[in-house]
Amino acid sequence: MKTKDILLAAFLLILAITGLYIHCKLPAAAAAAMESAVKDSRETVQLPILMYHGITGDPSKTGEYFITTDTFEKDLKWLRDHGYTTISVKQLADYAKNGARLPEKPVLLTFDDGYRNNYTLAFPLLQKYNAKAVISLIGSESDLSSDTVYRGDADTGGNITWGEAALMVQSGLVEIGNHTYDLHRNEGGRKGADKLKGESDEAYRKVLTADLGHNQDLIAAATGHPSLLFAWPFGAWPTDGSADPILKDLGFAGSLTSYQIMNTIRRDDPDSLFGLKRFLRTPSFVLSEHLPA
């Protein structure tokens, strides 16, 4: 930001404090420029968000959405050794909403889908490194797993149960995100929770409110409070921001997409938490090529 813009923003703040601003007769364009300068002068933080899915102990089972426990542990070590601090969604929301401080090099770890191995394999490593993460569950899958007595091995045995979600939240290291109750599918012309072509705003609101709201209720029943974060299935979302008011009404402080780039989060700007971008952690992904060391 240029020095003159900083000085302009500071002068505007002084005018507001002394009450002189309301007496100034500024042209609309000048007033808009000053408002923009104040907004741009807010403190910002660069936030990398890593997107994980499944964890496996068997190297032969790795793929685009599955990495080994060894790879995940190496990630946690690399982040620790290079000064990164894993943060919670609540910390991030407090920064954007209330101006609370964040650590110098924050990073957000996210898991999508809520596979059981997130509990059996990833969670012990989070505990070992005292690392925080948010696991976004598909509610219908957690319902199914919670009603299943035998789920097979730790790698492939379905999804996290509501009881397992509650245990992880009690550790203080894990938050539960919302990944829809039963919209994580690609059929009938709708991709995930995205808006159908030609669908009215009212109809779309009803769809999102019914599905996401039900999952919010289930998450609250299991953990004591609804989710603060919504992860768009397949990274498909209305890019015009038309869904953001719906998400806010459901209690979300932010939402996750994909796009493989860094995020700039503005302090005291809650809207900067919607449409957050993430780096997909594949077996070939190299942290040092995307995150500053």
Residue 87 near residue 102 (C-beta atoms within 8 A): yes
Radius of gyration of the chain (CA): 21
- Contact present, 231 and 179 (Cβ < 8 Å): yes
**Position 17, amino acid:** I
Tell me the sheet residues that pair with 191.
186
Closest CA to 180 of 134, 218, 224, 133: 218
The label of the residue with tokens 């203080």 reads: 172
Q: Is 195 helix (H, G, I), strand (E, B) or coil?
A: coil
Cβ neighbours, 10 Å, residue 202: 7
Q: Of 10, 38, 37, 34, nearest to 24 (Cα)?
A: 34
Residues 6+ apart with CB under 8 A from 204: 195, 196, 242, 243, 246
Contact by Cβ (8 Å): 154, 138 = no
Describe the crossing of helices 139-146 and 201-223 by its angle, rounded to 10 degrees: 40
Residue 181 has phi, psi (to 5 degrees) of -85, -50
Compute the distance between CA of residue 91 and CA of residue 89 in angstroms, rounded to an integer: 5
pLDDT, one tens digit for every residue, the chain (293 residues) = 444 444 445 544 444 444 433 344 445 555 554 444 444 445 999 999 999 999 999 999 999 999 999 999 999 999 999 999 999 999 999 999 999 999 999 999 999 999 999 999 999 999 999 999 999 999 999 999 999 877 777 676 799 999 999 999 999 999 999 999 999 999 999 999 999 999 999 999 999 999 999 999 999 999 999 999 999 999 999 999 999 999 999 999 999 999 899 999 999 999 999 999 999 999 999 999 999 99
Buried b (16+ CB within 10 A) or exposed e, 65-91: bbbbbebbbebbeebeeeebebbbbbb
Task: Indicate the DSSP class of residue 196.
Answer: P
> What pTM did the predictor assign?
0.85
Angle among Cα 193, 205, 254 to the nearest 5 degrees reads 60
Cα dihedral 61, 64, 65, 69, rounded to 10, equals 50
